[in-house]
Amino acid sequence: MLKIVGVMVTGPRERYLKRSLQELRRLCDHVVIVGNNTDKETEDLIKGFGFDFYRDDREWGKHQPNIKTDLLKYVGKYDPDWIIAIDSDEVFPPEFDRKEAQRLANTDEIAYQFLVVNLYNDEDHFYHGEGIQRFWNVRFYKYMPEHGLEFLKRNVHCGLAPPICYQYAWHAPFYLEHYGLMLKEDRLRKAARYDRYDPDAKCMSRAYYDDLVVDHEPTIFKRKKLLNQLSAELESLNKTRQRPILREAITMEYVVVRRLKDGKNVTIPRKHLEDTLLQGFELVEKKKAVTPKVEPKTPQKPTQEVSGNVCDECSKEYKTPASLKAHKTRMHK
């Protein structure tokens, strides 16, 4: 049976945290939450859900990728098949339920990205401009420690999954609501944080940071219409996206460790041995293994020529500039 583990890192006094926790409870078998300098009220809320909770108080703006990498290492004890990772101000549409998650997981894909919609001023409007945009981002992916659990080494905007998941991610027919930019005070607070930790805009475009401090005119958020558009365009969107294939098997050293409390043997990558021994295990033996090859899909027929009319947000190609413009109007504004 498919096992899904939900993960999240949260700070203190996150106003939308309860909604995000409810999302993880309805979709996941186990949930692990990391508190980053959290307050007692936040910790009591998390523990009230019965989730696995621990604290990691390293400075978020400097150690974010390390905090997330250690979280993924930790959830290995639950032996997950797939991971759902969201921030503490995000929710999925109700149409993305456990049945849909299992349907997506029961394919040969390894990661899925969702269209992130930034709510603006209230829950019925969003903004999409030069800086703050609707964009695709990974939120559901296969747990693959054999391919590495390290995150992109950027102190901010390092993503919610290891780089390999972004490289091979496929589009899911669902959006993700982001509440973190809805209120002006939250936008200004984030702008101040990024001004401190990314003053030269090395991790994100300057246009995004500039948009955080300017008031814009939002667009009405028609949720059902967006779902219908995503479903209608999903097949063509995924077909035209040139996805690389895992062609070569990766040779890695593995070790067998024994859990002291019950004597159970577990096989883990050698590079995780040091951390595992600190969690109540002992080394039994070393061995070598090769991960199975991921068989490539049947290649799509090549296009006769590249038109140059490619959407810079979702990579879909159109025959004429007019059709590209119509697509952007429907999907990205």
For helices 40-48 and 17-27, give the axis angle rounded to 10 degrees: 20
> What's residue 316's pLDDT?
53
Relative to beta strand 111-120, strand 52-55 is unpaired
Tokens of 307: 């038109």
- Give strand pairing partners of 10: 35
> Which amino acid is located at 187 in the chain?
R
Residue 216 · residue 207 · CB < 8 Å:
no
Please state the rounded mean pLDDT for residues 109-117: 95
pLDDT tens digits along 206-226: 999 999 999 999 999 999 999
Q: Which helix (H) or strand (E) holds 243?
A: none
- For the chain, the 3-state helix, strand and coil shares in percent, each to the nearest 5, are 35, 25, 40
Please state the rounded mean pLDDT for residues 89-100: 98
**Residue 257 — very low, low, confident or very high, per pLDDT cuts 50/70/90?**
confident
Lowest mean pLDDT among 123-132, 287-296, 300-309: 300-309
Distance CA 151, CA 184 (A): 30
Residue 295 · residue 283 · CB < 8 Å:
no
Q: Taking 50 as the threshold, does the pLDDT of residue 187 lie above it?
A: yes
Query: What domains are defined for the chain?
Result: 4-240 (3.90.550), 251-290 (no CATH)
Residue 311 · residue 327 · CB < 8 Å:
yes
Q: Taking 60 as the threshold, does the pLDDT of residue 229 lie above it?
A: yes
Residue 96 · residue 174 · CB < 8 Å:
yes
Tokens of 292: 């199975």
> What's residue 240's pLDDT?
55
